[in-house]
Amino acid sequence: DAGVIQSPRHEVTEMGQEVTLRCKPISGHDYLFWYRQTMMRGLELLIYFNNNVPIDDSGMPEDRFSAKMPNASFSTLKIQPSEPRDSAVYFCASSLRGGYTFGSGTRLTVV
């Protein structure tokens, strides 16, 4: 198995632009998570899905952030419009029966 695949690995964008981060979970995993890592706030859980259904999005910072999981093999995290304070590393993880696997992360820089 190739593990959890995130794309792109790095993204640099200008303030105000839309950014879409992508994640392909491990096949068969029934949970998918989006985390954000910053120096100030550490690793924060943004949202997670169970069987493609969003369960808890209380960690999503504001309405500029949205996440979807249209099928079991794909999820997106969208920021529109992006702001410099959104600069962070965004991790996707998938899980089955409490065993988690993280992707390599997307480093987002908003200038």
Partner 1 sequence: AQKVTQAQTEISVVEKEDVTLDCVYETRDTTYYLFWYKQPPSGELVFLIRRNSFDEQNEISGRYSWNFQKSTSSFNFTITASQVVDSAVYFCALSSYNNNDMRFGAGTRLTVKP
- Give the residue with the Cβ less far from partner 1, 45 or 81: 45
Minimum CB separation of residue 59 from partner 1 in Å reads 9
Residue 56 CB, nearest approach to partner 1 (Å): 6
Residue 21 C-beta: closest distance to partner 1, Å: 15
Per CB under 8 A, residues contacting partner 1 are 31, 33, 35, 42-43, 45, 48, 50, 55-56, 89, 91, 93, 95, 98-102, 104-105, 107
Nearer to partner 1, 81 or 96 (CB): 96
- Kindly write down the DSSP assignment for every residue of the chain, as one continuous string: ----EEE-SEEEE-TT--EEEEEEPPTT--EEEEEEEETTTEEEEEEEEETTEEEE-TT--STTEEEEEEETTEEEEEESS--GGG-EEEEEEEEETTEEEE---EEEEE-
